[in-house]
Chains A and B, each alone.
Chain A
Amino acid sequence: AQSVTQPDIHITVSEGASLELRCNYSYGATPYLFWYVQSPGQGLQLLLKYFSGDTLVQGIKGFEAEFKRSQSSFNLRKPSVHWSDAAEYFCAVGAGNSGNTPLVFGKGTRLSVIA
C-alpha cells in the first residue's frame, strides 16, 4: 500500500524568498505523484503531477517539483513566494499501474508568508 510523509507541519517564509516543501512516498512500483493546494474554505486544487518521463515537472502558479526515485521524494519548489501562496499543501501518491486506485495523501504542510 502507498503512503506519504510530509515532514514539515508548518513553514513560514518571507515574501520573495524561495520555498521547498518536502514529500517522501512509499510505494513498491512506479508511482503517480501529485501536489495539491488548499486555501481556507476551498477545495483541493491540483498544482502539478508526475506520471513518467522528465523528472522535473512544472505546474501552475510558478511551482515545480522534482521526482527522485533514489530518495523516494517529490519535493515542491518555488523560486519566489508571493503572499497569495499562503495555504495548505498536500502531496499525494497513486498506484502507477492503475488509473482508478484512490490517491493517498500526506497530512499536509501549512505555508505562512510574512512581509
Chain B
Amino acid sequence: GAGVSQTPSNKVTEKGKYVELRCDPISGHTALYWYRQSLGQGPEFLIYFQGTGAADDSGLPNDRFFAVRPEGSVSTLKIQRTERGDSAVYLCASKPTGSGANVLTFGAGSRLTVL
C-alpha cells in the first residue's frame, strides 16, 4: 500500500478482555516495529520483526503482550487480560528493505482505551 495502515483506529474495551491490533506495512518493507505512546510521552519501543521472526522483543512489558507476523507482511499485536494501564496509542512502523539506517515510516496508530 501507499503507507502503513493500522486497524482499528480506535478500540474501547473492558478490563480483562483480549485485544488484537493490526498493522499492514508498506509493501516490500521487511522490518516492522511496534511502539506504544502513552499520554504525554514519546513512543516507547515494544518489538520489531525482520521478516517473520521477532528480532527484538525486549520492549514488551510482560507476557500479556504478544505479536506475530506469520507471512512477513501484516503483523498483529495481541494483548491478553487488558488492564487500564494498557491504554495508549499503539504505533506501527516499517522500514525499507536494504536501507542502511532506520528511516521508519509510521502509521496513524491504534488508540486503545481500557475501561
A101 x B102 contact (CB < 8 A): yes
Within 8 A of A (CB), among B1-52: 4, 31, 33, 35, 40-45, 48, 50
- Interface status of B67 (Cβ within 8 A of chain A): no
Q: Which residue of A32, A90, A102 is within 8 Å of B59 (Cβ)?
A: A102
Give 7 closest A-B pairs by Cβ, nearest first. A105-B42, A43-B106, A44-B106, A102-B45, A43-B108, A94-B102, A107-B42
A104 to B104, CA, bound (A): 12
- Interface set of B (CB-CB < 8 Å, partner A): 4, 31, 33, 35, 40-45, 48, 50, 55-56, 59, 91, 93, 95, 99-109
Q: Which residue of A32, A100, A102, A107 is within 8 Å of B41 (Cβ)?
A: A107
A100 x B31 contact (CB < 8 A): yes
B43 x A105 contact (CB < 8 A): yes
Q: Which residues in B have their C-beta under 8 angstroms from that of A44?
A: 43, 91, 93, 104, 106
Q: Which residues in A have their C-beta under 8 angstroms from that of B101?
A: 32, 49, 51, 94, 99
How many A residues touch B, CB cutoff 8 Å? 26
CB distance from A47 to the nearest CB of B (A): 12
B99 x A103 contact (CB < 8 A): no
- List, sorted by A's number, 22 A–B pairs whose CB atoms are closer than 8 Å: A4-B42, A32-B102, A34-B103, A41-B108, A43-B91, A43-B108, A43-B109, A44-B43, A46-B105, A92-B42, A94-B101, A99-B99, A99-B100, A100-B48, A100-B102, A101-B56, A102-B33, A102-B48, A103-B45, A107-B40, A107-B42, A108-B40
Known: A101-B56, A108-B40. 18 other contacts (CB 8 A): A6-B42, A43-B4, A44-B43, A45-B106, A46-B104, A51-B100, A51-B101, A90-B42, A94-B101, A99-B102, A100-B31, A100-B50, A100-B55, A100-B95, A103-B104, A104-B45, A105-B44, A107-B42
